[in-house]
Amino acid sequence: MFLINCPFCGEREQSEFKAGGEAHILRPKQPTELSDDEWAEYLFMRKNIKGIQFERWNHSHGCRKWFNVIRDTSNDQIKAVYKMGQKPPAI
């Protein structure tokens, strides 16, 4: 169980959070204009990296805010946390 530094509440146990998959996948603004393949790319395709991965997390048993986490999936080390809409920090 790792510790996550919620940008709104501070460091808390992992059990207070919910993982929300890969970050920085923008919902297309004009979905109806996309081809099936383009829509499928948004809907289904995720990288699932072994190593540094950009992820969404939600402090579901806390402030309920969504934010971004940079995590090394091979050892669960969290490199950075930053708010939604912010650019990822250099790591």
Partner 1 sequence: MVKNLRTKGSKFIDQTSRVSFKFNGTKYFGFKGDTLASALLANNIHLIGRSFKYHRPRGIMTAGSEEPNAIVQINDNTAFTEPNVRATEIEIYEGLKAKSQNCWPSVNFDIGGINNFLSPILPAGFYYKTFMWPASFWLKYEYFIRHSAGLGKSPKLPDPDIYEHKYIHCDVLIIGGGISGIMAAKMSAKRGLNTLLVDENPNIGGSTIFQNSKFYKINNQTSCSWLENEIKEINKFKNLIIKTRTSIAAFHGYNFLLARENLTDHLPANEKKYKVRQRLLKIRAKKVILATGALERPLVFNNNDRPGIMLSSAIKKYADFFGVACGKENILFTNNDTAYETAISLDQKGIKVNAIIDIRENCNSEISKEVEANGIKIYRSSTVVDTYGYKRIKKISVMQLSSDGQSVKGQKLFINCDCLGIAGGWTPAVHLFTQSGGKLEFDEKDQIFVPKIYPSKQISIGSCNGDFELDQIIYKNTKILKEFLEISESEYDNIDVSGASNLNKRNIWLLPSDKILGKTKSFIDYQNDATAKDIKLALREGFRSIEHVKRYTTTGMGTDQGKLGNMHALGIIAETTGVKMSELGTTTFRPPYTPLPFGTIVGRNVGEFFDITRKTPINDWHVKNNAKFENVGQWKRAWYYPVNNESMHDAVQRESKAARESAGILDASTLGKIDIQGTDASEFLNRVYTNSWTKLDIGKCRYGLMLNEDGMVYDDGVTTRLDKNHFIMTTTTGGAANVLAKLEDYLQTEWPELDVYLTSVTDHYATISICGPNSKKIVSKVIPNLDLSEVSLPHMSFKNTIIDNIKCRVMRISFTGEQSYEINIQANYGMSLWEKIMDCGKEFNITPYGTETMHLLRAEKGFIIVGQDTDATLTPIDLQMDWIVSKKKYDFIGKRSLYRSDTMRDDRKQLVGLLTEDPNEVLEEGAQIVANLNQKPIEMLGHVTSSYFSPNLNKSIALAVVRGGKKMLGQKLFIPMENKNINVTIVDPVFLDKENNRLNAQL
* Interface positions with partner 1 (CB under 8 A): 1-3, 18, 20, 26-28, 30-32, 34, 36, 39-40, 43, 56, 58, 60, 64-66, 75-76, 84-85
Residues 34, 16: Cα–Cα separation, whole Å:
37
Indicate the residue among 76 and 89 with the shorter CB distance to partner 1: 76
Strands 10-13 and 77-83: unpaired
Residue 36 burial (CB count, 10 A) = 8
Least distance to partner 1, CB of residue 26, Å: 8
Query: Which spans in the chain are helix H?
Result: 36-44
Indicate the residue among 31 and 89 with the shorter CB distance to partner 1: 31
